[in-house]
């Protein structure tokens, strides 16, 4: 509803799931006198998907055993070009596996990657991979850099995005084995590679050490860092509240740090637009996830990724 109210009238939404539950929810919204309900409802269709993938289901078991889940049915609609993009707040592992299986990866990739936004004092930076892949080769880290670069260009409108490789020191010889090797490969990858960045450089992006748009790391480090960061506001708010600072002032001060502003993290590398949202997303977060999907489709991000990876393959051949 929120997304449809914001988007142009050419946009429509297909809700995929158990029809009865969706219709009950729509009736509830109508009965509550939700603003703009009738106009929005006319642009919503429903596709039945009776199976439910639980958060505890294994990624591949979900595809094999639950072909009539909203995940599989929705991604099939996208693969068949009956939908331009797919957005879900379900089981992340299942969404990744189903997206790769049904949409396929771009040529030249071995894995997809999740691109998450990290709010900073100035401009947010893209963290890639934020959790899709745990043990990564140097070549995969370079793939993440290419994917993140297109994302920053197309979605954040940053020309020639500055790419930093997350490491335990600025010097090229710092890092674990994959990172050290990736440093060498990135220096010759034709990207705007600024070298290693440290944990402390992320929040000062755009100030201390100059431009930084994309932070590249494996999904283990990315996941740990992102979840750690997500837990910081809770700590700060508790401390400020116990110091007697007014709730309103706190909320206002940290407005730019609301994760739901970003809503969704795209799964980069698949031939399509698959947006991953938090399981605990608010309606506002889902609205923003849909906005991310629309920008990805309208900027033709997916084509750009395919072309960029094609060029890279030619350059390295």
- 234 contributes a contact to a copy of itself by CB under 8 A: yes
Q: What is the 3-state secondary structure (H, E, C) of 6-22?
A: HCCCCCCEEEEECHHHH
Least separation in angstroms between CB 89 and a copy of itself: 17
Please identify which residue in 203, 211, 297, 312 interacts with a copy of itself, judged by CB under 8 A: 203
- 90 contributes a contact to a copy of itself by CB under 8 A: no
Please identify which residue in 42, 236, 313, 315 interacts with a copy of itself, judged by CB under 8 A: 236
Q: Which stretch binds a copy of itself (CB under 8 A): 43-51, 214-222, 271-279, 283-291?
A: 214-222
Measured distance between the N- and C-terminal CA atoms of the chain, rounded to whole angstroms? 48
Least separation in angstroms between CB 229 and a copy of itself: 7
Least separation in angstroms between CB 124 and a copy of itself: 13
CB atoms within 10 A of CB 240: 16
| Contact by Cβ (8 Å): 263, 277 | yes
Least separation in angstroms between CB 74 and a copy of itself: 24
Q: Count of residues binding a copy of itself (CB under 8 A)?
A: 48
Q: Which is nearer to a copy of itself, 93 or 108 (CB)?
A: 93
- 131 contributes a contact to a copy of itself by CB under 8 A: yes
Angle at the Cα of 93 (from 97 to 164), degrees rounded to 5? 95
Q: Which stretch binds a copy of itself (CB under 8 A): 15-23, 249-257, 268-276, 301-309?
A: 249-257
Residue 21 half-sphere exposure, CB side, CA atoms within 13 Å? 11
The answer to whether the Cα torsion of 92, 94, 98, 101 is positive or negative is: positive
Site string for a copy of itself, 252-291 (x = CB under 8 A): xxx-------------------------------------
- 227 contributes a contact to a copy of itself by CB under 8 A: yes
For the segment 40-79, give every residue that binds a copy of itself (CB under 8 A): none
Please identify which residue in 157, 188, 249, 315 interacts with a copy of itself, judged by CB under 8 A: 249
Please identify which residue in 113, 125, 162, 221 interacts with a copy of itself, judged by CB under 8 A: 221
Please identify which residue in 74, 175, 269, 272 interacts with a copy of itself, judged by CB under 8 A: 175
Tokens of 207: 């100030």
Q: Which stretch binds a copy of itself (CB under 8 A): 30-38, 244-252, 286-294, 309-317?
A: 244-252
- 5 contributes a contact to a copy of itself by CB under 8 A: no
Q: How far apart are CA 310 and CA 57, in angstroms?
A: 35
Catalog residues that contact a copy of itself under the rule CB under 8 A.
120-121, 131, 134-135, 166-169, 175-177, 179, 198-204, 217-221, 223-232, 234-236, 238-240, 242-243, 245, 249, 252-254
């Amino acid at each position: 509803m929120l997304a449809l109210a914001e988007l142009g009238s050419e946009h429509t939404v297909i809700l995929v799931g158990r029809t009865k539950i969706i219709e009950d929810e729509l009736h509830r919204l109508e009965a509550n006198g939700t603003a703009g309900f009738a106009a929005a409802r006319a642009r919503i269709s429903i596709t039945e998907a009776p199976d439910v993938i639980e958060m505890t289901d294994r990624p591949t078991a979900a595809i094999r055993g639950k072909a009539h889940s909203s995940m599989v049915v929705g991604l099939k609609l996208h693969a068949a070009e009956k939908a331009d993009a797919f957005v879900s707040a379900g089981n992340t592992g299942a969404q990744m596996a189903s997206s790769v299986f049904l949409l396929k990866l771009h040529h030249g990739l071995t894995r997809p990657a999740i691109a998450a936004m990290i709010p900073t004092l100035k401009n947010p930076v893209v963290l890639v991979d934020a959790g899709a892949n745990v043990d990564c080769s140097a070549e995969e880290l370079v793939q993440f850099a290419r994917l993140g670069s297109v994302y920053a260009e197309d979605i954040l409108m940053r020309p020639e995005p500055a790419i930093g490789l997350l490491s335990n020191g600025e010097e090229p010889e710092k890092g674990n084995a994959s990172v050290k090797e990736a440093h060498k490969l990135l220096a010759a990858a034709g990207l705007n590679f600024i070298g290693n960045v440290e944990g402390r450089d992320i929040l000062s992006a755009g100030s201390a050490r100059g431009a930084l748009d994309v932070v590249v790391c494996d999904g283990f480090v990315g996941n740990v860092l992102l979840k750690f960061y997500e837990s910081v506001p809770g700590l700060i708010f508790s401390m400020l509240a116990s110091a007697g600072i007014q709730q309103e002032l706190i909320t206002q001060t940290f407005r730019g740090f609301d994760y739901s502003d970003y809503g969704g993290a795209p799964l980069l590398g698949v031939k399509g637009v698959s947006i991953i949202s938090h399981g605990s997303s608010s309606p506002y977060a889902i609205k923003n996830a849909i906005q991310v999907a629309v920008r990805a489709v309208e900027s033709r991000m997916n084509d750009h990724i395919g072309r960029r990876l094609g060029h890279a393959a030619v350059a390295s051949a």
